[in-house]
Amino acid sequence: MLLIHCPYCEMERPEVEFKYGGQAHLVREPQKATDEEWTDFLYFRDNTRGLHAERWRHAVGCGRFFNCLRDTVSDKIAATYKAGEPRPSSP
């Protein structure tokens, strides 16, 4: 089982308390988006090999969404950070 550092609880917590929430840092701007951009937002996601920024929720804990940099090959988590914070440049 992975131990994931929750940036709100400020503690490593067991993976079973978390839910995966998909790719992070997507911006929802329906007023500004062209049809193509809106389609991208709704239906298409990156399929990264390597570090992937993604949302997680500490569902059975503080309940908060936060972001996580995870290597999709090794499953190693490089960083977790609060929602709204920018993606760390280099882990």
Partner 1 sequence: MTPEVVRRSVLDGRPLPATGRVKAYPLPFATRLNLRGSPDVVEPVRKAFGVAPPTQPMGSASAGERAALWLGPDEWLLLAEENAGDLMGTLTSALGGVFHSLVDISHRQVGIAIEGPGAARLLAAGCPLDLDARAFPVGMSTRTLLVKAEIGLWRREENFFRIEVLRSFAPYVARILDLAARDQG
- Cβ contact 54:23 at 8 Å: yes
Return the residues of window 32-91 that contact partner 1 according to CB under 8 A: 60-64
| 2 near partner 1, judged by CB under 8 A | no
| 17 near partner 1, judged by CB under 8 A | yes
| 11 near partner 1, judged by CB under 8 A | yes
**What CA–CA distance (Å, rounded) separates 91 from 83?**
17
Q: Which amino acid is at 73?
A: V
Which parts of this chain interact with partner 1 (CB under 8 A)?
1, 8-11, 13-14, 16-17, 60-64
